[in-house]
Amino acid sequence: MTHRQAVIVGGGPAGLAAALRLKEKGVSDILILEREKLLGGILRQCIHDGFGLTRFGESLSGPEYAQRFIDRVEEAGIESITDCTVLDVSADKVVTAVSRAHGLMQIQADAVLLTMGCRERTRGALATPGTRPAGIYTAGVAQNYINLQNIMVGKEIVILGSGDIGLIMARRMTLEGAHVKGVYEVQPYPSGLPRNIEQCLNDYGIPLHLSHTVVDIRGRERLTSVVVAQCDERFRPIPGTEEEIPCDTLILSVGLIPENELSLAATVALDPRTRGAFVDEHCQTSVPGIFAAGNVLHVHDLVDFVSLEAEALAAGAAEYLLTGSLPACPLEVKAGQGIGHVIPQHISGTRDFTLSLRVRQPMNSVSIVVRQGTQEVLRKKMRKALPAEMVQLPVKVARLTTTADMEVYVE
Amino acid sequence: MKRTFTCIVCPNGCEIDAEYEGANVLSVTGNLCPKGKAYVTQELVDPRRTIASSIRVEGGTLPLTSVRLTSAIPKDRIFDVMKEINAQSVAAPTHIGDVVIRDVLGLGSDVIITKNVDRA
């Protein structure tokens, strides 16, 4: 067994940003383990622009955004092993990994940084009835085929779900000559960002059907049609509204789930709201010395915020490694009325911190309120609040007056 | 005339209510920054977009490299530019920032490489 100060599981945007900040903070013995052949994570296939607007003040493609971090990681001499699968992370921070080049490795880490990102929900999670023909892809898989492997997925396309990747792929497939017949979303509002509805659907005349879902999938070898239907407010298809749509391809963009199998193996406690770890303001999980940030913690809509969160993680992990401990975080932060989830779930109450949260449903002219006991800590007015947009609230410790738990809610 | 725009300049995606006469913007509300008004003005006279795509790589570790435009082009020329991009291929290695087509179709925008692909 070898020993490392910090092992980073996943070399995507979160892992790369965390590695760099760790190094800057004086941690030198860092190893990044990456499953793919190249660093960069999902950004490698996100060739559209719009990345880096907050971080770099310019609109970059995903590969360019990733390369800026990869170049710096290489310049800093930070070690990474690609084409390497992490099999297990134990509660005492032994990382077991395997790669063709290195065989089976066991590494005792002082700190483990979980930056594995997220996975897409699949047809199985929706339990859509019908046959099981070829031609059904999640949006990210279609994106991988088209943008990395030069394989076109189909010609006549229906998209189920209005997540951002599905919207981006609607435009991408249209540019590559496919006919995207429509996007069907079970919720009465889109789950992707408004600008993507505009520039990916409206620009190309692709219709968005809200409160609709796919109720049947037809075809033997290859998909030949799907049946869509309108849904009521409880997402139940309304009989008599069915319409059969001939198509050869169905793209699913129906949500992302933090990829936490390794976190569970390490006995990290998960929050059912985010499906990621419970963390404190240092991004430390319920297991001391194991940290999590990025999409493995909660699904983000902008990579710029993933990088920022990973840097906050690295600041915490560096303090843990260099001083041997972190300030206790006894105060709980609860997601109240109208809030889907809030990160971190625990804070020290002795330092400034930033809350990341999402609202449950679209609302106009609301305030997001942070309250400690009966004391109002912060109030942010919003003209509109959408579940598609993550909200960040920096909180100054001077605003905290008691040691009571905190609640965040919509008013 | 009145119309509601969704600004695409940044992830805020402001919903902007605009009042205008022809190409003259009389008032805008809902934008968080001046870029919103500029976007609406541009959108009324000459809507422009950037696009991203990919081109074939010969002898590379990947079959494709990605490309994008350096500035926005008229929306109604997007498919003309796609045709130009699709006619391209490059030999590995490819470097971020390398120009594949300078001033594509005389539209004042370059097609540049956005991914490093090594030689196989």
A149 CA: distance to closest CA in chain B (Å): 6
The Cα–Cα gap between B15 and A145 comes to 34
Same domain, B37 and B90: no
For B8, name the nearest residue in chain A, comparing CA atoms only: A195
- Owner of token pair 């009324």: B44
Q: Which amino acid is at A409?
A: Y
Same domain, A352 and A320: no
Q: Do B54 and A302 touch (CB under 8 A)?
A: no
For B97, name the nearest residue in chain A, comparing CA atoms only: A64
Please give the structure tokens belonging to residue B118.
Answer: 């090594």
Same domain, A116 and A261: yes
Q: What is the pLDDT of residue B100?
A: 98
Would you say residue B22 lies in a domain?
Answer: yes
Cβ-based contacts of A146 with chain B (< 8 Å): 54
Same domain, A374 and A403: yes
Of A233, A254, A275, the last residue of a domain is: A254
Q: What is the pLDDT of residue A402?
A: 83
Q: What is the pLDDT of residue B12?
A: 84
Cβ-based contacts of A148 with chain B (< 8 Å): 62-64
pLDDT tens figures, A3-31: 999 999 999 999 999 999 999 999 999 99
Q: What is the pLDDT of residue A401?
A: 84
Q: Which amino acid is at A7?
A: V
Same domain, A275 and A249: no
Q: Are strands B15-21 and B24-29 parallel, antiparallel or unpaired?
A: antiparallel
| ipTM value for the complex | 0.95
Please give the structure tokens belonging to residue B113.
Answer: 């490489």
Give yes or no for a contact between A265 and A252, defined as CB atoms under 8 angstroms apart. no
Cβ-based contacts of A152 with chain B (< 8 Å): none
Q: Do A63 and B96 touch (CB under 8 A)?
A: yes
Q: What is the pLDDT of residue B10?
A: 86
Nearest to A384 among B15, B50, B67 (CB): B15
Residue B23 has pLDDT above 90, yes or no: no
Q: Do A47 and B56 touch (CB under 8 A)?
A: no
Q: What is the pLDDT of residue A384?
A: 87
| Number of domains forming the structure of chain A | 3
A 10 A CB-CB count for A64 gives 25
Q: What is the pLDDT of residue A12?
A: 98
The Cα–Cα gap between A217 and A121 comes to 17
Output the 3-class SS for chain A.
CEEEEEEEECCCHHHHHHHHHHHHCCCCCEEEECCCCCCCHHHHHCCCEEECCCCCCCCEEHHHHHHHHHHHHHHCCCEEECCEEEEEECCCCEEEEEECCCEEEEEEEEEEEECCCEEECCHHHHCCCECCCECEEEHHHHHHHHHHCCCCCCCEEEEECCCHHHHHHHHHHHHCCCEEEEEEECCCCCCCCHHHHHHHHHHHCCCEEECEEEEEEECCCECCEEEEEEECCCCCECCCCCEEEECCEEEECCCEEECCHHHHHCCCCECCCCCCECCECCCECCCCCEEECHHHCCCCCCHHHHHHHHHHHHHHHHHHHHHCCCCCCCEEEEECCCEEEEECCEECCCCCEEEEEEECCCEEEEEEEEEECCEEEEEEEEEEECCCCCEEEEECHHHCCCCCCEEEEEC
pLDDT tens figures, A177-220: 999 999 999 999 999 999 999 999 999 999 999 999 999 999 99
Give yes or no for a contact between B112 and B120, defined as CB atoms under 8 angstroms apart. no
Same domain, A116 and A18: yes
Same domain, A116 and A164: no
Same domain, A149 and A233: yes
| Number of domains forming the structure of chain B | 2
Residue A403 has pLDDT above 90, yes or no: no
DSSP B104: G
Query: In whole angstroms, how far apart are CA A271 and each of A83, A130, A298, A410?
Result: 30, 33, 10, 20
Would you say residue B118 lies in a domain?
Answer: no
Same domain, A73 and A107: yes
Same domain, A239 and A92: no
Q: Does the reported pTM lie above 0.90?
A: yes
The Cα–Cα gap between A176 and A182 comes to 16
Q: What is the mean pLDDT of chain A?
A: 96
Same domain, B18 and B34: yes
Same domain, A203 and A300: no
pLDDT tens figures, B51-82: 999 999 999 999 999 999 999 999 999 999 99
Residue A315 has pLDDT above 90, yes or no: yes
For A171, name the nearest residue in chain B, comparing CA atoms only: B51
Same domain, B57 and B109: yes
Same domain, B95 and B57: yes
Q: Do B49 and A383 touch (CB under 8 A)?
A: no
Nearest to B8 among A44, A54, A198 (CB): A198
Q: What is the pLDDT of residue A218?
A: 98
Where is pLDDT greater, at A404 or B74? B74
Same domain, B32 and B85: no
Q: What is the pLDDT of residue A373?
A: 87
Would you say residue B119 lies in a domain?
Answer: no
Same domain, B102 and B60: yes
Instruction: Round to the nearest angstrom and report the end-to-end CA distance of chain B.
Output: 58
Give yes or no for a contact between A226 and A135, defined as CB atoms under 8 angstroms apart. no
Give yes or no for a contact between A76 and A20, defined as CB atoms under 8 angstroms apart. yes
Of A325, A343, A373, the last residue of a domain is: A325
Same domain, A81 and A180: no
pLDDT band at residue B11 using 50, 70 and 90 as cut-offs: confident
Q: Which domain holds residue A97?
A: 1-120+257-325
Cβ-based contacts of A193 with chain B (< 8 Å): 11, 13
Would you say residue B79 lies in a domain?
Answer: yes
- CATH number of the domain to which A368 belongs: 2.60.40
Residue A176 has pLDDT above 90, yes or no: yes
- Which range in A125-129, A282-286, A385-389, B22-26 is most confidently predicted, on average pLDDT? A282-286
- CATH number of the domain to which B57 belongs: 3.10.530.10
Same domain, A93 and A205: no
Same domain, B86 and B108: yes
Would you say residue B120 lies in a domain?
Answer: no
Q: Which domain holds residue B82?
A: 52-113
Same domain, B75 and B97: yes
- CATH number of the domain to which A16 belongs: 3.50.50.60
Would you say residue B6 lies in a domain?
Answer: yes
Please give the structure tokens belonging to residue A56.
Answer: 């770099």
Residue A383 has pLDDT above 90, yes or no: no
Of A223, A254, A285, the last residue of a domain is: A254
For B64, name the nearest residue in chain A, comparing CA atoms only: A148
